[in-house]
Amino acid sequence: MSDSVEPVLRVEGLKTHYDSTDGFLDRLLGRSRRVRAVDGVDFELREGETLGVVGESGCGKTTLARSVLRLIEPTAGSVYHRGEDLTTLSSAELRDRRTDLQYVFQDPLSSLNPRLTAGDVVAEPLDVHGLATGSERDERVRELLETVGLNPNHAGRYPHEFSGGQRQRLGIARALAVDPEVIVCDEPVSALDASVQAQILNLLADLQEDFGLSYVFIAHDLRVVEHVSDRVAVMYLGEFVERGPTDAVFEPPHHPYTEALLSAIPEPDPLWDGDGIRLTGTVPSPIDPPDGCRFHTRCPRLVPGADSDLPANVWRSVAALARRAANADDVTSLTATRGADDRTIRAGDSTPRTDPATRPRDPTPRPDAVIGRDPTEASRETFGGLVREEFDLPETLPDAGAEETLGEAIDALYDDRIGTAAALLESAFTSPCERHHPPEYGVGSDHGIACLRYDDGFDEEAGTFEDGSEPAGSSDSTAG
Ligand SMILES: Nc1ncnc2c1ncn2[C@@H]1O[C@H](COP(=O)(O)OP(=O)(O)OP(=O)(O)O)[C@@H](O)[C@H]1O
């Protein structure tokens, strides 16, 4: 990897929003539903390096990958290739530029034209760009098939006659045909078996070395990203929340979301020495992302409010109860939904978020199930004890005001007035993370984390900046 002054790609303030306004009612009410799939992303890709982009399903990775190459038109922002902004190019200019910038798709079968032979699939970019004809074209196709480890004598076969791994090799050969300098690889191995994954990753590494390629490598599997990347960007709800050299991102300090992804890797990562942390709640909708830090609705490291005298862990436990109360329909579902609503993110987990039936459920039976069944069966005292046990809260909070609010909230829960309980808790336990949209704070060489806790001037204990001011609200999308 060389350190050129101007990176091969420089992405600034990239946003891609989809209009998902749907149906008569939306139109009648003039209601626009914008999916903020990519919402202000910056990055650089240096010559000969691999930038891994990782995040859960739906966080905007594919939209980002396609927007960078203008396979989807971005809503705002710039993508500079060798200093020239791709977003300002005409279609013809962009087509010419595609010889430098190529894309490898996740699903090779659906991205390869089934009516073309392997040879024609690979030669298609040569034809489009008028790069070779006749015997020169045939020779180039044979050479490309050999380069990616396919038998050149199979050029007459159709895509369905190849295995999944071979089809991905075909996709890579097609991308290589125009001799590009950048390839955006969109989950190139996630549809493949583990052993085939390794072969394709090795092939990509060899090609990078042989041809000096630079990769943007999109994946939801942290282990894959760690294996292939020089630098890593962690994406959450359309934004980058952490960026840095791979070793730095895999070692503390972490963004709480990165920490959760790392702690969920099934086999302990040798570089991971933190405690396992568990994320609560579902991924919010990119149509209406949370104010402040987008991760605050699930964050296990939420910054306590400035007016709190509680220890941070106790404050967070009450905040977790507030969050749960705000999202539960009734007291019965306050804890009964836990298995369906709380997800531990797993590396490699692409379970649809919207289908509770197929979401991973917590296998551990919980003692709190009695609350979920019928709270009225328990006395107020027992009920209160169960709530405190469920949320790891002491018998009495060490702050009289907070204890009074919690007591009132538990009373309301016991009376099945869940809205009242949620409102009481939410007004008394507000985190600055709910207002403050964190920019990326430098935490090391080339390593940035978009989390208020990494602002040097912020006193986490006091919940204020050094001058006593509290974090203000901001609509700036400066993260990343
Ligand atoms: N054409 C579209 N119209 C409206 N919304 C879309 C469209 N394509 C994607 N989205 C939404 O944009 C968000 C980001 O989707 P995207 O596919 O980029 O995420 P991803 O991280 O690549 O997910 P996955 O790993 O599941 O492919 C999701 O909420 C998705 O539902």
- Take residue 156 and report the two structure tokens written for it: 């007459």
The 10s digit of each residue's pLDDT in 157-179 is: 999 999 999 999 999 999 999 99
**pLDDT band, very low/low/confident/very high, at 471 (cuts 50, 70, 90):** confident
**CA of 64 relative to ligand 1 center, distance in Å:** 10
**CA of 44 relative to ligand 1 center, distance in Å:** 23
The two counts, helices (H) then strands (E), for the chain are: 18, 14
The b-or-e profile of 427-451 (16+ CB within 10 A means b, else e) is ebbbbbbbbbbbbbbebeeebbbbb
Q: Using CA atoms, how far apart are residues 259 and 269, in angstroms rounded to an integer?
A: 12
> What pLDDT is recorded for position 351?
33
Given the CA of residue 62, which atom of ligand 1 is nearest to it? Answer: 22
The 10s digit of each residue's pLDDT in 374-401 is: 555 778 888 888 889 888 899 999 999 9
**pLDDT band, very low/low/confident/very high, at 362 (cuts 50, 70, 90):** very low
Please give the backbone phi and psi of residue 183, each rounded to the nearest 5 degrees, phi first. -125, 125
Tell me the pairing of strands 239-245 and 447-449: antiparallel
Distances (CA, A) of 461 to 313, 359, 399, 458: 11, 36, 15, 9
Please give the backbone phi and psi of residue 107, each rounded to the nearest 5 degrees, phi first. -110, 100
The Cβ of residue 1 has, within 10 Å, a number of other Cβ atoms equal to 13
**CA of 400 relative to ligand 1 center, distance in Å:** 46
- Take residue 303 and report the two structure tokens written for it: 């910054």
- For ligand 1, atom 23, name the residue with the nearest CA: 58
**CA of 200 relative to ligand 1 center, distance in Å:** 25
In this structure, the residues whose C-beta lies within 6 A of any atom of ligand 1 are: 18, 20, 35, 37, 55, 57-63, 220, 286, 350
The 10s digit of each residue's pLDDT in 53-65 is: 999 989 999 999 9
Question: Cα angle vertex 70, ends 69, 71, to 5°?
Answer: 90
Q: Residues 218, 53: contact at Cβ < 8 Å? A: yes
Q: Using CA atoms, how far apart are residues 191 and 188, in angstroms rounded to an integer?
A: 8
Would you list the domain boundaries of the chain? 9-13+41-263, 312-430
**CA of 187 relative to ligand 1 center, distance in Å:** 14
**CA of 467 relative to ligand 1 center, distance in Å:** 42
**CA of 32 relative to ligand 1 center, distance in Å:** 18
Residue 338 is classified by DSSP as H
Distances (CA, A) of 433 to 4, 117, 248, 297, 470: 37, 54, 24, 9, 11
Q: Which residue carries 């009289």 as its tokens? A: 400
- Take residue 229 and report the two structure tokens written for it: 């990347």
Q: Coil, strand, or helix at residue 114?
A: coil
Q: What is the mean pLDDT of residues 331-339?
A: 55
The Cβ of residue 99 has, within 10 Å, a number of other Cβ atoms equal to 16
* Cis peptide bond prior to 252, omega within 30° of 0: no
Does the interface ipTM go beyond 0.85?
yes
Q: Using CA atoms, how far apart are residues 330 and 316, in angstroms rounded to an integer?
A: 22
Which helix (H) or strand (E) segment is 211 a member of?
Answer: helix 194-211
For ligand 1, mutation pick of 22, 35, 41 (most atoms within 8 Å of CB): 35
Q: Residues 189, 217: contact at Cβ < 8 Å? A: no
Q: Has residue 424 got a pLDDT over 50?
A: yes
Q: Which residue carries 């902004």 as its tokens? A: 85
The CATH label, of 3.90.930.12, 3.40.30.10, 3.40.50.300, 3.40.50.360, for the domain at 9-13+41-263 is 3.40.50.300
Q: Has residue 361 got a pLDDT over 70?
A: no
Q: What is the mean pLDDT of residues 28-48?
A: 89
Given the CA of residue 286, which atom of ligand 1 is nearest to it? Answer: 29
> What pLDDT is recorded for position 324?
86
Q: Residues 253, 336: contact at Cβ < 8 Å? A: no
Question: Cα angle vertex 10, ends 257, 38, to 5°?
Answer: 45
Higher pLDDT, 377 or 449: 449
Q: Which long-range contacts (CB under 8 A, 24 or more apart) does 151-157 make?
A: 154/118, 155/117, 155/118, 155/119, 155/122, 156/117, 156/118, 156/119, 157/117, 157/118
Given the CA of residue 218, which atom of ligand 1 is nearest to it? Answer: 22
**CA of 253 relative to ligand 1 center, distance in Å:** 29
Q: Coil, strand, or helix at residue 103?
A: strand
Q: Has residue 90 got a pLDDT over 50?
A: yes
> What pLDDT is recorded for position 80?
97
Given the CA of residue 238, which atom of ligand 1 is nearest to it? Answer: 14
- For ligand 1, atom 28, name the residue with the nearest CA: 58
> What pLDDT is recorded for position 480?
35
User: What angle in degrees, to the nearest 10, is found between the helix axes of 380-390 and 400-414?
Assistant: 120
The b-or-e profile of 345-362 (16+ CB within 10 A means b, else e) is bbbeeeeebeeeeebeee
- For ligand 1, atom 11, name the residue with the nearest CA: 37
Q: Residues 438, 448: contact at Cβ < 8 Å? A: no
Q: Using CA atoms, how far apart are residues 131 and 145, in angstroms rounded to an integer?
A: 17
